[in-house]
Amino acid sequence: MPKIIIYTTPTCVYCKMAKAFFKEHSLAYEEKDVASDLEARKTMVEKSGQLGVPVIDIGGQIVVGFDKSALTELSGVK
């Protein structure tokens, strides 16, 4: 199982959808709130080139936004 890191903000609807997807499929993830964690924000921008959230790192593969098909494929959900 690849490591999953999700970069979020508290008010992001798509972040909540992504977290619900992970919970629904019993996938462990690490959440980083880029609204309050400036180091995480810097890392997110370096990885994705984006300021928008969610940015999701699944084993080094970056998904920007809530892309259910990409999340399914990269996380190995059947």
What does the pLDDT look like over 26-55, one tens digit per residue?
Answer: 999 999 999 999 999 999 999 999 999 999
- Among 3.30.2140.20, 3.40.50.280, 3.40.30.10, 1.10.150.120, name the CATH number for the domain at 7-75: 3.40.30.10
- CA dist 42 and 34 (Å) reads 8
Encoded tokens for 28: 């462990």
Q: What is the mean pLDDT of residues 11-32?
A: 96
Share of the chain above pLDDT 90, in %: 91
- Torsion sign, CA atoms 65, 54, 68, 2: positive
Query: Residue 77 has what pLDDT?
Result: 87
Amino acid (one-letter) located at 54? P
Query: Residue 2 has what pLDDT?
Result: 87
- CA dist 38 and 29 (Å) reads 19
Query: Is the confidence at residue 1, as pLDDT, over 80?
Result: no
